[in-house]
């Protein structure tokens, strides 16, 4: 392991010599992740993208891509776009990336079940801002806003996310 790996530990996420408190999925850690189980998948994942709300904040890193009201993420297990960024209008099941709350103001994307998504294996494991400390996610890993900014600014495409 390297100091540049994002490593989930009992103390929080270790990155660049620091620990960042975080919350994980309400289903805990799971080696056999399934769509809708609320679990955070174990394994070695990689950062593949960084999205941000340009109407709310400046780009957190030079490689970040802005999102707006038409940006969605498909969670329609039977659709060819399953576990991919899609644009409205999109009829199958999806999640809006441009939310009223600040949870997705910055999103680090991972390669969990991506780019060749297997139906039912679970979609969208993001790193994003938490609702509040200790409040679980639907499987993502969430952080305090200022910590999310530090992580987003310092992580790069290909950074490893290690979930034991």
Tokens of 137: 């996610």
Q: For position 116, what pLDDT does the model report?
A: 94
Q: What is the pTM of this model?
A: 0.95
Q: Which stretches of the chain are DSSP H helices?
A: 145-154
What the chain holds in terms of domains, given with CATH numbers, is 6-65+101-163 (2.40.440)
Low-confidence ranges of the chain (pLDDT < 50): none
Structural contact between residues 96 and 103, judged by C-beta atoms closer than 8 angstroms:
no
Sequence length of the chain is 164
Task: With beta carbons less than 8 A apart as the criterion, state whether 87 and 70 touch.
Answer: yes
Look at residue 3 in the predicted model and tell me its pLDDT. Answer: 87
Helix (H) or strand (E) holding 20, with range, is: strand 18-20
Neighbours of 66 (CB within 10 A): 13
- Closest by Cα among 89, 72, 51 to 123: 72
Residue 66: the pLDDT is: 98
Q: What is the pLDDT of residue 48?
A: 98
In the prediction, which pLDDT does 56 show? 97
d(CA 76, CA 123) in angstroms, rounded, equals 9
Whole-number pLDDT of residue 27: 97
List of residues 6+ apart from 47 with CB closer than 8 A: 6, 108, 109, 110, 127, 155, 156, 157, 158, 159, 161
Q: Cα dist. 107→1, 2, 78 in Å?
A: 24, 23, 24
């Amino acid at each position: 392991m390297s100091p540049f790996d994002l490593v989930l530990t009992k103390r929080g996420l270790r990155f660049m010599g620091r620990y960042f408190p975080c919350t994980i999925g309400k289903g805990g850690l799971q080696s056999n992740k399934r769509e809708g189980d609320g679990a955070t998948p174990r394994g070695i994942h990689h950062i593949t993208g960084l999205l941000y709300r340009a109407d709310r904040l400046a780009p957190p890193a030079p490689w970040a891509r802005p999102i707006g009201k038409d940006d969605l993420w498909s969670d329609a297990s039977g659709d060819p776009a399953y576990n991919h960024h899609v644009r409205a209008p999109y009829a199958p099941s999806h999640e809006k990336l441009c939310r009223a709350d600040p949870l997705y103001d910055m999103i680090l994307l991972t390669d969990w079940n991506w780019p060749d998504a297997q139906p039912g294996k679970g979609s969208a494991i993001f790193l994003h801002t938490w609702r509040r400390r200790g409040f679980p996610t639907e499987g993502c890993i969430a952080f305090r806003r200022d910590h999310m900014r530090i992580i987003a600014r310092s992580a790069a495409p290909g950074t490893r996310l290690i979930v034991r």
